[in-house]
Structure 1
Amino acid sequence: MVTQPDKRLFGQFLVSRNILTEAQLDEAIQTQKLWKSRLGDIILAKGWLKPRRFYHLLATFFDLEFVDLMGHPPDPDLFDRAMIDEYARRSFLPWRRSADGAIILALADPSEDTFNWLRARYGQNARFVGTGRFDTVWLLQKMGNAALSDDALNALSTMTPQHSARQVFTRGQIAFFYITAMVFLLFLYLAPERTLFAANLAAGLVFFASFFLKFMLSCAAVRQEVDVKVRDSEIRSLEDRDFPVYTILVPMYKEPDVLPILVNAIRNLEYPQSKLDVKLVLEEDDIETIAAARKLALEATFEIICVPPSEPRTKPKACNYALRFARGEYLTIYDAEDKPEATQLEKVLVAFRKLPDNVVCIQARLNYYNATENWLTRMFTLEYTAWFDFYLPALEYMRIPIPLGGTSNHFKISALRAVHAWDPYNVTEDADLGVRLTQRGWKVAVVDSTTFEEANVSIPNWIRQRSRWLKGYMQTYLVHMRSPLAFYRKTGGTGFWGFQFFIGGTFMTALLAPIFWVFFILFTLFGLKAGSGVFSGRIMALNALNLLLGNGFLVYTYVLCSFKRNYRHLALYALTTPVYWALQSIAAYKGLFQLLYKPFYWEKTQHGLSKHTAAELEELKS
């Protein structure tokens, strides 16, 4: 866009050509005082001009020839993959060479500063033509395809391989599992009852400790202010301050039907629209969703980023690819069906400014807008309330690494890039990233703003989603337990043991629960005697106590959750927690199987199944 001194001149230029009215120009100038945005960004955000026409006029204002890069593409020999970040940041591409050998640069954001930088980089005889910003974005993806894909897949595993899940098991871990199994079998042969008792005691300790930790986290969250509170007055104080550009990534795959919900939610955000940098991150071969996005007549705030198909086909790989195009100082991720509260970005901005500099990520709470649709959505809502209203805020309060949620986590983009962003080989990249940030000495906070999502209404769909989550927790645990002593030194005793029983305990309890239930039912409920010499009364009593306490802790927590969110009508459903956890165990064993045979497979969750979602889509169409 034009620089600050040119804003009135460019506006008058548009008025003189009857492109804008004087009233529109005055409105844009007044909006600029509030939003602290460039005039061109405001014009585009308000939809007064289509992007192509706007950039054509901008080129004319600067006495530049306008070039349609899609019809007259750049010379590929001039493309420098080492300059990809600068191409994206400054919205330009080397286009052609003139007859006298001077390079011609196509730029969508002309200003004196840009001209001076380009002449310093390419020589004083460099020449310029104007073009559209979306043309530069599309062609940058096309010409930089190989480099961008390679970076999205391999940056983390190349720069810090110890933090990448690309290698599922290290040699040391394989040796540890093998030796442990051999020692167990040896002792099982020599002293079967004592060995089984010891194994049961160890499993019971993990089971009890995990549930007890979550119970203590819930108690801490009830008694303490463990999240960041932002008052309305603090949000209003931002009106006269400089809002930074805020990038929103929306990764999605084969979800054309629910796309309008997210677009509408972003349009309803109270953050200055001219300061939003929204990337719809789509797969290149997802023709249906790309077509649906183009039909929505999106404002210039939105850009479509097409990720080339490659394996593994995961959300973190897509986000890594899109990150290279991000222009914001802060960045967040929303899923396709998300509906964040209108003031969420402002709340996060206030929270970042009032917290210490080492807080680099702020997680918003997640909950569901279709909580009462069926039994599954009710239980899912209770679980999410426990997770985001109790567990995560209390984890930070107790200095335990936080496994981030898959959406509505807000980053300082500089910190995100410093840790090489997301792990494309980890199917819960969010949980892993939270742990990596903690190991860098950075902190994560939780803010009192909620994003509402669609809760799964289908048990098979829920199991697909949950099996991926639990497999990802297994991956995260394996990655960060490659060097337990180093992890202990970085996180301290509380962080280390909290990680064991929260991240590790989440999937371990799901795997152990069926074993405890089987023995409890067979030997206690039905009073069977077979094998009682091996599985003694002590083991049965310990299993029964673990099951009762573990489920009791969860039931109590879920009852607290029903009152925390004023969901009192869900309180009685907490009594069905054991049934819900049976589904968790099914998903855990599916996740374990996939960890061994398909570790990087992304189990797709189908959205848009809720009757609430269908009703909202119909309303948007009308």
Structure 2
Amino acid sequence: MGVFNINIYRKELFIDTKLLTDIQVSEVERIKIKLEKSFLKTALNHGFISRFHYQKVIDSLNLPSYVIDVENIDKYKHFSETHERFSLFLDSLIFPIEHNNSVAFVVADPSDINNIRLIEEELQVVVSEIFVTNELDLIKALHLKYGGEILHKSVFHLYENDPDSCAIETFTFKQVMALGILFFIFLIFLYFNFVNTLIGVNLLLNLFLLSSILFKFMLTIHGSKKELESKVSKQEIDAIKDKDLPIYTIHLPVFKESEVIQKLVWNLNSLDYPIEKIDAKLLIESDDEMTYNAIREMKFPTNFEPIIIPYAQPKTKPKACNYGLYFSKGKYLTIYDAEDIPDSDQLKQTYKLFNKLPENYIAIQCALNYFNKGENFLTKMFTLEYSYWFDYMLPGLDSLRIPIPLGGTSNHFKYDKLMELGGWDGFNVTEDADLGLRCYAKDYKITVLDSTTYEEANNEFFNWIRQRSRWIKGYMQTYLVHMRNPIKLYRSIGARGFFGFQFFIGGTIFTFLSYPILLFFLLIYFTFKSKWIEILFPDWLIIISVINFTLGNLIMIYTNMIAIFKRSSYSLIFYAMANPVYWLMHSISAYKGLHQLITKPFYWEKTNHGLTKKKN
């Protein structure tokens, strides 16, 4: 290493090496001026050059290089106390260091003289040495060195500003006391009247299970009335001018998903939205070497900006998205999973709908479905479930003005309102459903849009159990958080919202937990004939239980059958009859989720993607 006289120019670095053509250089220049980013950052993050080929060119020039020691990042002098300066370093791709008793710059683009001079002026220093390093390594170093304050906000902002809405405390003292008192009362009733108490519990379980199923059936019927409605017409989309469109941020949280990164790039390229107005953030955990190396070695251009999230617990998707919020530039923001395939005009549709809705609508949920629906039993059942959930139940909630629990992806937000709400709860493993409830509690509204994002349906049993147990555990967290003060919840979302919450969130949890218990009771009755069994299960109760199970399962089978029509998935109609088996799988997941709620509530069970053999 030594003094480096800057004598590399943009033409030498990009045109002479055939990384870019003259026309492409002009286009990058145009976009970089508009976005106020460096030339290299614009070229790498907007699909002009690949990181792999750019680094090959840098290596071939034999420039003085420097490897930033990210394992011992604290040894470097701190040059920024503000987020604004940190962002300036990121946009300029410059990492200042102390070297030979003076300030030196480690850069990703040695031809970027303007930004080198800009940072000199910002720091009020004269730099005598310039070193070159890998662009992704430089970004990682900057986030590890200067991202601590933002990382703290990503984890604790909601807790510090609205602790009653944060799931950091699983059970409050009042909730533990209430559960303890209820259990004590139950024991007293058992002691004084064992038989009637068990009969009463059995009856209550049956009635609430049927009520929850009937509520969902009612939602399906209401949602079906909206089946053919379109909130945004094709003519409205065609009339949109690109110059009127705002910057749109896309969060792409990934963890150990190197196998779907190439697919992600292809799907982003398919979006019908001006390239310079897409602010895509690939959110990578700093210890995720698998994904990190896949990005670093990628041999084709990408159109996202890597955001490297410093290590912190809990390691959850909401924490990663919260961190990304502080680097987001868009007026609107959405989240896509790595394998998602949204409708190409989805961003334009949501933009148009936001402009048509009243100001208090701050989020839009698009439908989710699957591109590998016919792969095996699991993917077929998953498709049926998502079809009635997103095509019928959520529109039913929307039409009845009941709070909508958001789905994990394709939920679109007004960025400023999302920041006002404090982002997502980093301790809730279904942060989307929780955020939907918080929107309504703050007098904001959510609606649904008939635009679909296609995902990869889970096609492997244990992977499905891991995913579903996390979802149900998150519903439990959400229910406990929002029921800390039932009277306050009732006042904030009204009677309709309150009871809708009880049946839709609470009822979903209750259904999956109680289903195997009630089934077990029935099996005991029909298997063991004895005086005690007949006392505990009188004929009238068995009749109610049989009717309940028969009617409940028939309703859900019928609901699944309805789900096929909107998407013409007629080949799945016979699989609707397997819903009782699918429910038992949910019950397994529910009890696993309940166990984790007590033992490790913030643990994020990783769902593996890229397992499908189907081409999308």
Name the TM tier (shorter chain).
0.7 to 0.9
Are residue 548 (structure 1) and residue 546 (structure 2) matched? no
Cα distance in 2 for residues equivalent to 1:182 and 1:597: 23
The C-alpha deviation readout for 1:107-163, integer Å capped at 9, x for no partner, is 99x999xx99999xx79x899999999787544312223223222211111111111
Matched residue, 1:164? 166
The C-alpha deviation readout for 1:46-97, integer Å capped at 9, x for no partner, is 755679999xxxxxxxxxxx99997799973431045467648976879589
Matched residue, 1:413? 415
Are residue 307 (structure 1) and residue 309 (structure 2) matched? yes
How far residue 180 of structure 1 moved from its aligned partner, in angstroms, is 0.2
Matched residue, 2:189? 187
The C-alpha deviation readout for 1:493-520, integer Å capped at 9, x for no partner, is 0100000010011111000001111122
Please tell me whether the aligned partners of residues 91 and 133 of structure 1 are also in contact (alpha carbons under 8 angstroms). no
How far residue 208 of structure 1 moved from its aligned partner, in angstroms, is 1.5
Cα distance in 2 for residues equivalent to 1:339 and 1:431: 21
Please tell me whether the aligned partners of residues 473 and 593 of structure 2 are also in contact (alpha carbons under 8 angstroms). yes
Matched residue, 2:560? 558
What letter is aligned with 1:308?
P
Cα distance in 1 for residues equivalent to 2:458 and 2:15: 52
Please tell me whether the aligned partners of residues 340 and 452 of structure 1 are also in contact (alpha carbons under 8 angstroms). yes
Instruction: Give runs of aligned pairs for residues 270-419 of structure 1, distance below 5 A.
Output: 270-297=272-299, 299=301, 301-419=303-421
Is the partner of 2:333 in helix, strand or coil? strand
Relative to structure 1, the CA distance from residue 308 to residue 138 in structure 2 (aligned partners, 3 Å threshold; closer, same or farther) is closer
Cα distance in 2 for residues equivalent to 1:175 and 1:46: 55
Please tell me whether the aligned partners of residues 242 and 273 of structure 2 are also in contact (alpha carbons under 8 angstroms). no
What letter is aligned with 2:77?
P
Cα distance in 2 for residues equivalent to 1:600 and 1:441: 28
Cα distance in 1 for residues equivalent to 2:18 and 2:148: 44
Cα distance in 1 for residues equivalent to 2:299 and 2:482: 45
Cα distance in 1 for residues equivalent to 2:238 and 2:36: 21
How far residue 287 of structure 1 moved from its aligned partner, in angstroms, is 1.1
Relative to structure 1, the CA distance from residue 471 to residue 451 in structure 2 (aligned partners, 3 Å threshold; closer, same or farther) is same
Cα distance in 2 for residues equivalent to 1:37 and 1:83: 15
How far residue 102 of structure 1 moved from its aligned partner, in angstroms, is 13
Instruction: Give runs of aligned pairs for residues 65-84 of structure 1, distance below 5 A.
Output: 76-81=77-82, 83=84
Matched residue, 1:433? 435
Matched residue, 1:467? 469
What letter is aligned with 1:310?
A
Matched residue, 1:238? 240
TM-score, reference length from structure 2:
0.84
Find the partner of 2:424 among 422, 425, 431: 422
Please tell me whether the aligned partners of residues 284 and 307 of structure 1 are also in contact (alpha carbons under 8 angstroms). yes
What letter is aligned with 2:461?
I
Please tell me whether the aligned partners of residues 226 and 395 of structure 2 are also in contact (alpha carbons under 8 angstroms). no
Please tell me whether the aligned partners of residues 106 and 128 of structure 1 are also in contact (alpha carbons under 8 angstroms). no
Please tell me whether the aligned partners of residues 267 and 341 of structure 2 are also in contact (alpha carbons under 8 angstroms). yes
The C-alpha deviation readout for 1:401-425, integer Å capped at 9, x for no partner, is 1111111111111111111111111
Matched residue, 2:592? 590
Are residue 518 (structure 1) and residue 520 (structure 2) matched? yes
Relative to structure 1, the CA distance from residue 391 to residue 229 in structure 2 (aligned partners, 3 Å threshold; closer, same or farther) is same
How far residue 194 of structure 1 moved from its aligned partner, in angstroms, is 2.9
Matched residue, 2:149? 147
Find the partner of 1:251 among 250, 253, 268: 253
What letter is aligned with 1:80?
E
Cα distance in 1 for residues equivalent to 2:565 and 2:47: 44
Cα distance in 2 for residues equivalent to 1:341 and 1:233: 16
Higher mean C-alpha displacement, 162-171 vs 403-412: 403-412
Cα distance in 2 for residues equivalent to 1:457 and 1:104: 49
Is the partner of 1:257 in helix, strand or coil? helix
How far residue 559 of structure 1 moved from its aligned partner, in angstroms, is 0.6
Instruction: Give runs of aligned pairs for residues 118-133 of structure 1, distance below 5 A.
Output: none
Matched residue, 1:443? 445
Find the partner of 2:602 among 591, 595, 600: 600
How far residue 436 of structure 1 moved from its aligned partner, in angstroms, is 0.8
Cα distance in 2 for residues equivalent to 1:458 and 1:49: 37
What is the RMSD computed on CA atoms of the aligned residues?
4.0
Is the partner of 2:366 in helix, strand or coil? strand
Cα distance in 1 for residues equivalent to 2:66 and 2:353: 42
The C-alpha deviation readout for 1:331-355, integer Å capped at 9, x for no partner, is 1111122111211111111111111
Please tell me whether the aligned partners of residues 79 and 94 of structure 1 are also in contact (alpha carbons under 8 angstroms). no
Matched residue, 2:572? 570
Gap regions ≥5 residues in structure 1:
1-9, 55-65, 617-622
Cα distance in 1 for residues equivalent to 2:43 and 2:324: 25
Is the partner of 2:533 in helix, strand or coil? coil
What letter is aligned with 1:188?
L
Please tell me whether the aligned partners of residues 89 and 327 of structure 1 are also in contact (alpha carbons under 8 angstroms). no
Cα distance in 2 for residues equivalent to 1:200 and 1:521: 14
What letter is aligned with 2:171?
F
Is the partner of 2:568 in helix, strand or coil? coil
Cα distance in 1 for residues equivalent to 2:153 and 2:229: 35
Cα distance in 1 for residues equivalent to 2:94 and 2:610: 39
Cα distance in 2 for residues equivalent to 1:245 and 1:493: 38
How far residue 216 of structure 1 moved from its aligned partner, in angstroms, is 0.6
Cα distance in 2 for residues equivalent to 1:321 and 1:67: 33
Relative to structure 1, the CA distance from residue 403 to residue 590 in structure 2 (aligned partners, 3 Å threshold; closer, same or farther) is same
Cα distance in 2 for residues equivalent to 1:513 and 1:264: 42
How far residue 204 of structure 1 moved from its aligned partner, in angstroms, is 2.4
Is the partner of 1:577 in helix, strand or coil? helix
Higher mean C-alpha displacement, 150-159 vs 587-596: 150-159
What letter is aligned with 2:367?
R
Please tell me whether the aligned partners of residues 226 and 393 of structure 1 are also in contact (alpha carbons under 8 angstroms). no
Cα distance in 1 for residues equivalent to 2:222 and 2:374: 28
Are residue 454 (structure 1) and residue 475 (structure 2) matched? no
How far residue 456 of structure 1 moved from its aligned partner, in angstroms, is 1.2
TM-score, reference length from structure 1:
0.83
Matched residue, 1:502? 504
How far residue 391 of structure 1 moved from its aligned partner, in angstroms, is 1.0
How far residue 543 of structure 1 moved from its aligned partner, in angstroms, is 1.9
Give the share of equivalent positions with the same residue, in percent: 41
Relative to structure 1, the CA distance from residue 568 to residue 94 in structure 2 (aligned partners, 3 Å threshold; closer, same or farther) is closer
How far residue 455 of structure 1 moved from its aligned partner, in angstroms, is 0.9
What letter is aligned with 1:593?
H
Is the partner of 2:187 in helix, strand or coil? helix
Find the partner of 2:263 among 261, 264, 279: 261
Matched residue, 1:485? 487
Relative to structure 1, the CA distance from residue 584 to residue 474 in structure 2 (aligned partners, 3 Å threshold; closer, same or farther) is same
Gap regions ≥5 residues in structure 2:
1-9, 55-62
What letter is aligned with 2:356?
K
Find the partner of 2:582 among 560, 580, 583: 580
Matched residue, 1:200? 202
Is the partner of 1:305 in helix, strand or coil? strand
Please tell me whether the aligned partners of residues 220 and 388 of structure 2 are also in contact (alpha carbons under 8 angstroms). yes
Is the partner of 1:449 in helix, strand or coil? strand
- Equivalenced residues, count: 588
